[in-house]
Amino acid sequence: MRDLVKDSKFLSLILRHKPETIGIRLDDSGWVEIDNLLEALARHKRPLTREKLMEIVATNDKKRFAISADGKRIRASQGHSLDIALGYAPCVPPAVLYHGTASRFRQSIEDRGLLKGDRHHVHMTSSVDTARAVGSRHGKPVILSIDAGAMHRDGYEFFLSDNGVWLTDHVPASYIDFG
């Protein structure tokens, strides 16, 4: 199981951030042919069988990877730093969304709102538990409540990734309840 996690983390690196590590390119929407991916992984001494790849996709705790409808291509559902267009349609968010962060970022977020940093979007969740887990990755967790309903009414766009992560461009501090 630990191997699967290791391979899954490497796949996240390839499919979100650095496909050049194994000499491949993603298309404009982040997809790559599974055949090409497996070949490139083997060439770079990270061989993976098709079965193992499918097991990673199926068992991944956050369903980070998606297979195309024809079964031939794979991409990460969110979390990219590469300049790709995921093509999610804007949709109506729940009234409240949560963002987990670390206490040391709080002052800066109060000053500047939530910024997307290296990623394409600010990431939010409808689950307080998920927000707490994400915040814990960075330090002492702080859970911010975001008035997504008001943002949406004010014209901000929201997107829902294939694996259930809510995305938006920027969250001004005025929409954030710091608790």
Binding-site ranges for ligand HQG (CB under 6 A): 62, 64, 79, 101-102, 105, 108-109, 112, 114-115, 117, 119, 123, 134, 138, 165
Separation of alpha carbons 35 and 138, rounded Å = 36
Q: In whole angstroms, how close is the CB of 42 to ligand HQG at the nearest point?
A: 25
For ligand HQG, give the closer residue by CB, 22 or 101: 101
Q: In whole angstroms, how close is the CB of 140 to ligand HQG at the nearest point?
A: 11
**Strand, coil or helix: 160:** strand
For ligand HQG, give the closer residue by CB, 73 or 100: 100
H/E element holding 42? helix 34-43
Q: In whole angstroms, how close is the CB of 117 to ligand HQG at the nearest point?
A: 5
Q: In whole angstroms, how close is the CB of 179 to ligand HQG at the nearest point?
A: 14
For ligand HQG, give the closer residue by CB, 141 or 149: 141
20 burial via Cβ count (<10 Å: 0-12, 13-18, 19+): exposed
Quote the tokens at residue 8.
């899954």
**In 60-147, where does DSSP find H-type helix?**
106-112, 128-136
